[in-house]
Structure 1
Amino acid sequence: MIYPLGHLGIALMEWVLLGWGILLWRLSPSLAMIVLPLLLASLSYDNFILSIGNLIGEGELLEILSKVRFLLHDLIVPLFIVIGVELAHRAGAAWATTIVRVLSWVVAFGLAGIDVTTNYIGLELEPRFFGGILRYSAANLSGPPIITIVVNLFMLLIGIGIWVRLKWSWLFVGTFIALLGNAMPSSTVGTLPGSASELVMALSLLLTEHKVQIIGKKLARNQQQEKIFMANKNPETAFEWEHIIPKDGYKIYQSGSHIKGNFLQVFAPDAPYRDGEGKLRLITYLHGFALCLPKFYQSHLE
């Protein structure tokens, strides 16, 4: 009963992840979160049919339901490419341009078409029993699932890029586990390891989307704070700078005096550096007495 109950448990968990994916999409609509629920629904259907195959029994009904399994797999798996490109775009990857995002759909549909024409059309199924599971598998196909492995390798590269850019390794780990799970021969270990690894990959995708949303919110908040700062240093606002000194690549905003104890200078770069989370870095010097002029530490500020 381990394998049937395992597949049923995975199917239920994938529906939970599907609900989370819809929630993430409502918080921040993106193409990745439109495609991922479709993928989770397909994976959940696959696991549910595997879990009840022995209850349905060998025959035409189970064979038809199994053909739907294979068709959904051929159509949905290439869409991982779309999800990966969208996550890279939202993570700030320079290469994930609008053209690349459009091409990802073209490539995904192209791979799906190749998979359907070469593997699904003319598909012959035969019943097999393993670990308490009765399922129909392809009788006229041999060798590893090339397109699935290619898609996993592509997602592995996306995971490495996001790991480097955001210091976030979960997408790489989830994709690597899925690659190992899909590489295991189902004739030897059954279908449960592969299905479990796909669940881990789906979870890593959702966690990555959640991480990207958090970074996006921080970036938006920082941009708003920057706008407020830029408005406050404008001489036309309530706070007036006495001097605005343009320099090569930056400006110096100055007001007050040392004698009065309210001397203030702001060195503002024309193109501020941002860290991986979109934050601006600030160096602050605080003086409690009028000992010296700024020129003694101005070189460091510059």
Structure 2
Amino acid sequence: MPIDSVQLASIPTESRNPRTTNIDSLPTEEMLALMNREDAAVITAVEAEVPRIAAVLDALVPRIVGGGRLFYIGAGTSGRLGVLDASECPPTFSVSPTLVQGLIAGGDSALRKAAEKIEDSPELGAKDLEAAGFAEGDTLVGIAASGRTPYVLGAIAWARSIGALTVGFSCVPDSPVSKAAELQITPVPGPEVLTGSTRMKAGTATKLVLNMITTGLMIKTGLTYSNLMVNVQPTNEKLVDRAERIIMEIAEVNHDTATGLLAEAGNVKVAVVMQKLGLSVDGAVAKLQHAGGRLREALETE
């Protein structure tokens, strides 16, 4: 379908920002201060969408607990941000790399080299999602700052056709992407500092929301304890130190004891349960398994 340039120019992500028309003539510090003031609008825009983000999370959690997965799909900046958020989940929370997956138009090579033409094909969006093994029990978040990317619309339509849950993320009210999906998240940070550069305010809004979705998911599925990342993988010196400090905090032990517990247990949660409940490694593992891997439940149940 041909682009209506008049209609496209009227949407918030493409509109000219009247506050930044002289940005190219400002001294460096004033230019940066102007950018910063514009970025402040992103926080307000995302805050307004918290109820919708909560609705998405509440629908997502039981599907994940039931064995489903979360997929992001997008083109350009939107796709890159989805891949970034997905790729950070395994090292941060020790989850399988298949639990949260990011797909970008043009494949992984498009992470470094733009493949903008592909975003015009709804058929490729559907094809890529199907090729990734997306199934009825999974959840799709289609990301398109402009709210009209055909690649994303095609993926959403295919996901709905097989009965999966779909979420439309855009930065434009009443966009085709939001209307195509069952649930919607639509922060509207307004015109960009540079006209049409959705890698800026819209990109920042996208990053914030995706972080909220996956972090909220990990919290709600028991992969944290309080505000501590107890599923951290102690795979390098920094992460070993972090794991030991978490054990010290929860188990209320000194550093040497935490070091010994981590060495014996191999992970934070087992180490904490061993210390707090006076169990062996095997006993702590069994306790956690009975609690579904949730540290708080393991510590609070007999």
What TM-score do the two structures reach when normalised by structure 1?
A: 0.31
Q: Which has the higher contact order (CA 8 A, sep 6+)?
A: 2
Structure exhibiting the larger radius of gyration computed from Cα positions:
1
Larger helix proportion, structure 1 or 2? 1
What TM-score do the two structures reach when normalised by structure 2?
A: 0.31
